[in-house]
Amino acid sequence: MTRSVTARVPAKVNVQLAVGGLRPDGFHDLANVFLAVGLYDEVTATPADELRITVSGADAHAVPLDRTNLAARAALALAARHGIEPRVQLHIAKDIPVAGGMAGGSADAAGALVACDALWGTAAPRTELLEICAELGSDVPFSLVGGAALGRGRGELLTPLQTGSTFHWVFAVAEGGLSTPDVYRECDRLRAADGQGATVADVPDPEPSPALLEALRTGDARALAAAVTNDLQPAALSLRPALAATLSAGTSAGALAALVSGSGPTCAFLAEDAEAAASVAKGLAASGTCRAVRVATGPAPGAAVVGA
């Protein structure tokens, strides 16, 4: 019998995304407060003749099947470190919107690592898995760790955060995605056009908000709603002006806070409790301002083998 290993990995929302100036290396320093939420991709690793990627789910057509797929890159990186031939099929059951600002590709990378590590018996230490994650992308370490965390640097230097309770979220999934590099470029362009300047010399160093960290720690949804910010939101709205209507539809439906998730175009709405979330979801669905509406709670656990 062929053994398979499945890993389940959450999406994320950035409850704070403070973006510093453009660095000479083309990246931006961030103060990035991640919250993992219960929308999951599943990555199943099965022995095969060669590395193969298959994808199912509504957005499957938008996911690359070659070695540019982040899940493939993760498997190749683990195999190379352990001198293993990457003879594996990775099936991605995709539920996280693609190019939606919810770290879907990063989730698949973390899931592939965890699943291949279990399938191949490499038993890589956590520090090694985190190292590979950081090589693959700024959001990948958080997909492995889950929960809530502060990311510094490009977002990959993580400090776990305690959360006082479960937060209730509604997500408005947009038609089509936004490219994260395009959104950062638009952020720089808007800053330069403002006369403010876009480089590290012009923009204050990004710092986590003490009020936001306290709201997470105490589990106070109203205080969290008052503190959420996303420096990429003006850029996402500039590239996709229709998102303004989505944000106001969620607010009119009773959301405590409405913001673009990461680089967008998914919009995230914080609700007081499960009942309020259901009512925000209903209002959004009726508004006709998004492709789909999802309800999820956070924090959610990071990448883990199902049934382990």
Binding-site entries for ATP: 97-107
CB-nearest residue to ligand ATP: 105
Quick one: 276 or 293, whose CB is closer to ligand ATP?
293
Quick one: 253 or 303, whose CB is closer to ligand ATP?
303
Quick one: 167 or 184, whose CB is closer to ligand ATP?
184
| 267 binds ligand ATP, rule: CB under 6 A | no
| 100 binds ligand ATP, rule: CB under 6 A | yes
Q: Is 12 one of the annotated active-site residues of the chain?
A: yes
- In angstroms, the Cα distances linking 43 to 72, 154, 177, 214 are 11, 25, 21, 34
| 161 binds ligand ATP, rule: CB under 6 A | no
| CA 173 – CA 289 distance, rounded (Å) | 9
What does residue 292 show for φ and ψ, rounded to 5 degrees? Answer: -155, 160
| 63 binds ligand ATP, rule: CB under 6 A | yes
Sequence-ordered list of residues with C-beta below 8 angstroms from that of 167, at least 6 positions apart, any chain: 35, 219, 221, 224, 270, 297, 298, 299
Query: Is residue 298 classed as helix, strand or coil in its secondary structure?
Result: strand
| 296 binds ligand ATP, rule: CB under 6 A | no
| 143 binds ligand ATP, rule: CB under 6 A | no
Consecutive H or E run containing 14:
strand 5-22
Sequence-ordered list of residues with C-beta below 8 angstroms from that of 216, at least 6 positions apart, any chain: 15, 33, 35, 148, 161, 162, 163, 164, 224
Site for ligand ATP (CB under 6 A): which residue of 17, 263, 300, 304? 263
Residues that bind ligand ATP (CB under 6 A): 63-64, 68-71, 92, 98-106, 108, 139, 177, 180, 262-263
Catalytic residues: 12, 139
